[in-house]
A and B are shown apart, each in its own frame.
Chain A
Amino acid sequence: MTDAVTMEVKILRSSPSEGVPSAYQHFTVQGTDNMRVLDVIRSIYENQAGDLAYQFACRIGRCGTCAMRVNGVPVLACQERCKLQMRIDPLSPFPVVRDLVVDRTEVETRYAQMALTPAGPQSNARVRPIAPAVAEELCHLDSCLACMVCVSGCPAVEEHAFDGPAFMLKLRHMQEHPADNGDRLGQALDGGLLECFACDACTQLCPADLSPAQAIRDFRRDMIIGSKPK
């Protein structure tokens, strides 16, 4: 059963390239209580503000494109249920392109700089099989959507020079990979590993059921006790 509801929605709208300062625009939306935030935004776009800029792709919580902040909490708009009162902001701390669309260039650049590809086997080397448990773990770590919800929700990113939990998770993924021989702990330290407060907010917010906080703790354990040989 779904109930008809009336929602009061505030969306932070801006267009830095056109010099339009950011300001909240209010909308009243008629809908049902099982709508997702993305449905509400689409309704606003189709019926009230045709110039509203927003992004989405899969609508099933697998692409991470529709990440934004609802009432101050970073979420995937396609997964989050609508609320009667909503304040919708673009995903911080990323630069806004327009309205709810943020520029992810820096994210892609940083991933590229990290060289997140394990070295392949040399032509004369024997290919070593990966243990099933390790393979399962690697697949799990690889399921990060790169939605940046964890980065947006991380208080350490706000306060310190910390790349963010998503990047630490990717580095840990490589660290766990048997074929990788990069200095991932060194990269993590350069990325601000020690700035993390270990508050676990990233784990609670991650839409992909991952635990970046545990990845950070594993790196710290390696730093203190030493890592297991691959």
Chain B
Amino acid sequence: MSAVLPLPRNTTRQADTYITGYVARTLNRACGMIVVAFVLVHVVAEAILRVPALAPVNAGLPWLPVVQNQAWVHAILYFCIAFHTLYGLKLLAGDVGLRVPARASFLVIVGIAGLFALRELLRYVGL
């Protein structure tokens, strides 16, 4: 069973190495929370920007449309969406029998999600 999986471990320096699983789990949770928080904030912000009855509120928040169009906000959001989706698919794949090396798959997913973030940043500089 475990013989076919690469085991990313140095048993003599275990406490020195970072535990990929902890990082992946924390990042996955953080990404999920960021996506949910963004959606909630976005819905409220759009309501304030577009509903006439909320125009007085809108007048007091001139920074609202600016925040929603920041390159770094989009970069973080796209990274989070991509990471959360791909990591979730990886977990599902594991549950149906696919054997995926933990560290390699984590790094690949971070890399792919990073490309999405990079694309957003490049889009804002016109590339």
Binding site for B on A (CB under 8 A): 36, 61, 70-73, 75-76, 79-81, 83, 137, 140-141, 153, 155, 172, 176, 197-207, 209-211, 213-215, 217-218, 220-221, 224-225
Q: Which residues on the B side are within 8 Å of A71 (C-beta)?
A: 15
A221 / chain B contacts, CB cutoff of 8 Å: 95-97
Q: Is the CB of B15 within 8 A of A75?
A: yes
Docked complex Cα distance between A197 and B106 (Å): 14
Those of B92-119 within 8 Å (CB) of chain A? 94-97, 99, 102-103
Interface SS, B side = loop
Q: Are A81 and B13 in contact (CB under 8 A)?
A: yes
Check A214/B11 contact, CB under 8 A, given A198-B94, A200-B102, A203-B102. no
Do A199 and B25 touch across chains, with their CB atoms under 8 A apart? yes
B2 contacts A198, C-beta separation under 8 Å: no
Q: A81-B12, A197-B25, A213-B102 are in contact. Are A205 and B19 (CB under 8 A)?
A: yes
Q: Can you name the residue of chain A whose Cβ is closest to the Cβ of B3?
A: A140
Q: How far apart are A84's CB and chain B's nearest CB, in angstroms? A: 11
Distance of B25 from chain A, by nearest CB (Å): 4
**Is the CB–CB distance between B95 and A201 below 8 Å?**
no
Size band of the interface chain B makes with A = 20 to 34
B1 within 8 A of A: yes
Smallest Cβ distance from A85 to chain B, in angstroms? 11
Q: Is the CB of B95 within 8 A of A224?
A: yes
Query: Which residues of B does A touch, CB under 8 Å?
Result: 1-3, 5, 7-9, 11-17, 19-22, 24-25, 91, 94-97, 99, 102-103
Given A140-B1, A200-B102, does the pair A79, B94 have CB atoms closer than 8 Å?
no
A99 CB to closest chain B CB (Å) equals: 19
Task: Give Cα distance in the complex from A72 to B11, angstroms.
Answer: 15
Q: Is the CB of B95 within 8 A of A217?
A: yes
Question: Does B20 lie within 8 Å of A200, measured CB to CB?
Answer: yes
A214 and B95 within 8 A (CB): no
The closest CB in chain B to the CB of A81 belongs to: B12
Tell me whether A61 and B1 are in contact (CB under 8 A).
Answer: no
Which 10 pairs of residues, A with B, have the shortest CB-CB distance? A211-B2, A199-B21, A201-B21, A200-B102, A73-B15, A221-B97, A199-B25, A70-B15, A220-B95, A200-B21
Q: Which residues of A contact B9 (CB under 8 A)?
A: 204-206, 209
Nearest-neighbor residue (CB-CB) of A73 within chain B: B15
Residues of A within 8 A of B20 (CB): 200-201, 204
Other A-B pairs beyond A79-B12, A203-B21, A211-B2, 19, CB < 8 Å: A70-B14, A71-B15, A73-B15, A80-B15, A81-B13, A140-B2, A141-B1, A197-B25, A198-B94, A200-B102, A201-B20, A201-B21, A203-B2, A204-B17, A206-B9, A214-B1, A214-B2, A218-B1, A224-B95
